[in-house]
Structure 1
Amino acid sequence: MSEPDFIVPPPGLVPGAPEHGRPDSAEGTVRAERALPAFRPPPGIRPPSALPIASPSSVAPSASPSTSSSAIAPPAPAAPASSATGPWRLRSADGIEFPVLDRVVAGRDPKPPAWLQRATVVTVPDHTRSMSKTHALLEARDGRLVVTDLDSTNGVRIWPEGAEPTDLEPGVPAEVPLDAVVLLGDVAFLVDRAPADSV
């Protein structure tokens, strides 16, 4: 009697075929169907890239918002080279646009607290009233854009493509990567750099 040319493993040693209806890890990471509700990038703007952001949980909370650059998480990896090297800029699909040269307090009818009296005030029309009167502080710090929720009702979220939106903890600054979407309440802004000659 001849021996078979192969060895049959004992039962249970070889893993079974994947179960049907159970997504594998590759399928679990696909988010093609997920889109920012009612957000269209302004004309001529490329969609957000998949740049990571610092998680607000990695930022040490403080008793009051700080202007020290050490109070924010480490910078995100460098973005791809871009021809725009001017100031940070936020643009909405509705044509709202404003630069962030230093410190900006944004909201429906901003009334900055005493420690922000020298900040630029930007009033954002919001007919849905999802944005608080004094909603968020945006700061240009050492070549980075940092956003802080000023205890708004509906919060601030940072949403890079390919990742879940991150809800910020009020009073805790977080870095915003280039080409991410920032949501102030339900008002969405695409973050980019203006051309250098636009200042």
Structure 2
Amino acid sequence: MARVPAQVRRKQLVDAAFRVIGKEGFAAATTRRICAEAGASLAAFHYCFDSKEELLVELTRQTQAELTSRHAAEVEIGGSVAASVRATLRGYWETVEEDPNRESVLMALTQHALHEPALAGVAAQQYVEYHRVAQESLERIAAACDVSWTLPVEQVARMLVVVTDGVTLAWLVDGDRDAALTALDAFADGLARFAEPAH
């Protein structure tokens, strides 16, 4: 039987951890359970990762990188600032509805990292990336619409992240799509008030 390359095996284990957490929760995500899901031995696991915490860091990094890449590509320019922010948030929402399980797993990873010393800094790094993508999106909208933000763009980006987090979590709980989209549209209109003509 052909030997599975280490990088492929790492990816299999990361994907297996994602599935286990998504289906059964963090408590079920033992090393043994992850290996069973991946069809790998414990020896293979320890060849690829020094610990379960190292695997969780890699899982967070990969999932977040995929998601932030998608969000960065979702910036839409729709004429006015409000229309552009609204369209961008609707694009973001498509990624949420496309894979709710991914959102649940990322939120679970964030909460777990906050209480696990071995994962110190993982949650903070997640939000550094979220804020970076939000800020770049707002800068692109401002440039396209020829406006400037009346607050530091870092503060506006933080508001954007806080609201999308809150709306996403509420939707994961209650499943009310109309309420989620109404909240995002209203926020887009409110956020546009922090923009003024650049000249």
With structure 1 as the length reference, what TM-score do the two structures score?
0.23
If each structure's strand is expressed as a fraction of its own residues, which one has the higher value? 1
Q: From the CA coordinates, give the structure whose radius of gyration is larger.
A: 1
If each structure's helix is expressed as a fraction of its own residues, which one has the higher value? 2
With structure 2 as the length reference, what TM-score do the two structures score?
0.23
Q: Which has the higher contact order (CA 8 A, sep 6+)?
A: 1
